[in-house]
Amino acid sequence: MTAIRYAAPGRINLIGEHTDYNLGFALPIALPERTVVIYLPDDGAEITVRSDQEEGTVSIPLDTAPRDVAGWAGYVAGVIWALRDAGHRVRGGTMSISSDVEMGSGVSSSAALECAVIGALATAADLRADRIELARLAQRAENDYVGAPTGMMDQLASLCGQPRKALMIDFREPTVWPVTFDPDASDVALLLINSRAPHQHASGEYASRRASCERAAADLGVSSLREVQDLGVAVLSAVVDPVDARRARHILTDNQRVLDVVVALEESDFTAIGALFNASQASMRDDFEITTDHIDLIADTAVHAGALGARMTGGGFGGCVVALVPVAAADRIADAIREAVAGAGYNVPTVARTRAGEGAVLLR
């Protein structure tokens, strides 16, 4: 069999943070940057993988079990395990991985890797699964093999992305539908600002936030916070722990902001969307407490320099900020961010204009 080449992108989330595992709403886009897997299947009992960003190779037996393989190759092993655990065939072979999705920056390099791998393995096995099911399997790889308690947003964004579209995701079903997202047509640029402070879940803070949301839901007598979405934040008076109540308030209000952004996109009202970005940033800072002084400085500087709105994107504690800015002011705003951050003694961030790109695809 000839080699299979499969690509999957990183993602950024426009709005709706930590809402996925609470069965709420989010609005991510796929990025132009992507991970490419070249897979040559055979009838062996293992897959040997190598990455252009790592030294050496790793041999992964097809009967691998959770935690057998650590590090970057654990995501590959996790996909193999998740497919086989679901009863699907996986062939042996060799796999080489290349990527321009930056690791540790909050743009979900892990999901890009998982989705490129699952696309290649599914193609080799002639697996006829839809993209939502593939996203579930890739999420299982990350949750149950690697041990990161993430939701499914990253995998859905990577697999389902479309150029000039954001993805309105309802995680209760889940359902995914594209929404036009083309700020360029309104002379607005989307800036992706990499703080160069690595985005880390290892500290347990992500798991802590998830547990807090689960406790709040239990206090309210529901299985997820989504079930009280339509009741408004007043319902949270029944949550015992005030910290848990604040965490839940972020989830309910960010869910509503996702819906409001979708409405504003119908009118290409980027001024309104910018204000919703700012409100989400404040909620992540004050209620969910997942930003940092470094991230706050970037977002605040962007707005003070003329951005329509700016917010952290991703799980928190580092990573990237997204800002909507008038095209004519983009360079000036980027310079102001670099100057303010350097002046505060942090690493100078990278600032790049980005847009919604193509989702996972078999390369011909």
Question: Which active-site residues does the annotation give?
Answer: 154
DSSP letter string over 18-68?
S-GGGT-EE-EEEEEEEEEEEEEEESSSEEEEEETTSSSEEEEETT--TTS
- CB atoms under 10 Å from CB of 258, counted, come to 24
Decide if 270 contacts 188 (C-beta within 8 A). Answer: yes
Which residue, 160, 112, 105, 103, is CA-closest to 138? 112
Six token digits for residue 148: 């990161």
- CB atoms under 10 Å from CB of 297, counted, come to 20
Question: Which residues lie across from 169 on neighbouring strands?
Answer: 26, 176
Instruction: Check residue 143 and report its DSSP letter.
Output: I
Report the distance separating Cα 211 and Cα 315, nearest Å. Answer: 14
Distances in Å between the alpha carbon of 305 and those of 24, 47, 58, 310, 312? Answer: 32, 50, 47, 11, 17
Full strand arrangement of the beta sheet holding 175-180: 25-26, 165-170, 175-180
Report the distance separating Cα 140 and Cα 125, nearest Å. Answer: 19
Decide if 17 contacts 284 (C-beta within 8 A). Answer: yes
Distances in Å between the alpha carbon of 270 and those of 186, 284, 311, 312? Answer: 8, 21, 14, 17
- CB atoms under 10 Å from CB of 78, counted, come to 33
Query: In terms of DSSP bridges, do strands 92-99 and 46-51 run parallel, antiparallel, or are they unpaired?
Result: parallel
Which residue, 19, 8, 10, is CA-closest to 108? 10
SS3 label, residue 167:
strand
